[in-house]
Chain A
């Protein structure tokens, strides 16, 4: 039994969470703009990873990234991109809930007090949407931690992490152990990832509830 797969997954999930939070917050702001052309279409494309089979997503990503040779496929970078794409719609949707929970009058008040749109965003909208953004980060992390299908297609089952020797992410490792008859290590990995996932969801739920209970 080795914990390197779990460390590899935590590494991938951390980077994927940061990237999806930055990109996802930008997309959430863009989708909140009522005058955005083809807003519903953009929303549908961003949300597609929620409904597409992971292998289909993996195929699209592999085809797109394959243009650059093996720079972004069959390695850690590919795994990060796969996990980011998988978690992006959850992040976008949760950040949007956070942004929409900010009372429009507070934004209007800030504007009438002479604040530019960028200052309103930095000093009023984002701080008040904070619990939603934190919940989005946690959900994105949890989703990235549990990715199997997209990662398998884009990054393959084995690769190196940053300072982590050649191994598999936790989800793939657990499946390999199970199929290979190593039930003890499969069970241990399953229990640890479950505890992590539930703890993250529990915290995200509490943060989301703060949005609704904020006076």
Chain B
């Protein structure tokens, strides 16, 4: 089964310590917690952008990181989709070129059509030849999702991608992510502050506090009634 299993131990120079153990089956796991609780650092370790002191990351049976055995798969060899908080769309490329950027396995001649199809699927096909500067917040989110998913990932990481959007747009994108997660059948780790978003999206919720997992389970078990 395409499960994510990870154990992370990390100490930063500023005194912050992270000691986290996660198991995420296919579906959406929402990671919640206050600012500074270590949510984004966990995503950084999973992606290979942050190297922990000790740790192990296994995705679908493939070992991406095992510090004890000296295994550390480079970032560009980890088959993952990562939507950054600021989206990080390449400003000097069109939406289509952004989406084509990660299509290494697709023959070059087929990439434009595939990128256009993916953008159309996410409702932003009309933006294919435009650059990110001209996109609205919701459009940029959809293009960022299309770009991340173009790689046929084994793991999807979403770092508060909807935080800057209004409620209606957020609801639309939450429904879209839900649909895509079901289709991909891979673990999706979604970092969010929003309890409403977690209730709408999550199959599982993990709550972090000061670098430690303090609760994990089904949304109804972890999220308190009336919490928002």
Q: Footprint of B on A, CB under 8 Å?
A: 103, 105-106, 108-117, 123-124, 127-128, 214-215
Contacts and interface: CB of A to CB of B under 8 A. Distances in A.
Interface in B135-159: 147-148, 151
A124 B90 contact: yes
B134 to A, nearest CB: 11
B101 A110 contact: yes
B55 interface: no
A106 B48 CA distance: 15
B199 to A, nearest CB: 28
Interface residues of B toward A: which range? 20 to 34
Given A112-B78, A113-B148, A114-B76, 18 more contacts: A103-B88, A105-B86, A108-B49, A108-B84, A109-B84, A109-B90, A110-B101, A111-B48, A113-B76, A113-B102, A113-B151, A114-B77, A114-B104, A116-B76, A127-B92, A214-B91, A215-B91, A215-B133
Given A105-B86, A215-B133, A112 B91 contact: no
Contacts, number: 58
A112 B90 contact: no
17 contacts: A105-B86, A108-B47, A108-B49, A108-B84, A108-B88, A109-B82, A110-B90, A110-B101, A111-B49, A111-B76, A112-B49, A112-B75, A114-B77, A114-B102, A115-B102, A214-B91, A215-B133
A106 B49 contact: no
Chain A interface, DSSP helix/strand/loop, else mixed: helix
Contact of A105 (B48, B84, B151): B84
Contacts of A109: 82, 84, 88-90
Contacts of A108: 47, 49, 75, 82, 84, 88
B124 interface: no
Main secondary structure, interface of B, reads: loop
B187 to A, nearest CB: 15
A67 B75 CA distance: 47
A112 B47 contact: yes
Interface string B150-179: 010000000000000000000000000000
Nearest to B132: A215
B118 interface: no
B80 interface: yes
Contacts of A115: 76, 101-102
A30 to B, nearest CB: 20
The residue among A112, A117, A127 with the most chain B CB atoms within 10 A of its own CB is A112
Contacts of A215: 91, 133
| B78, B79, B92 — most chain A CB neighbours (10 Å) | B92
Contacts of B79: 114
Contact of A106 (B77, B78, B90): B90
A103 B48 CA distance: 18
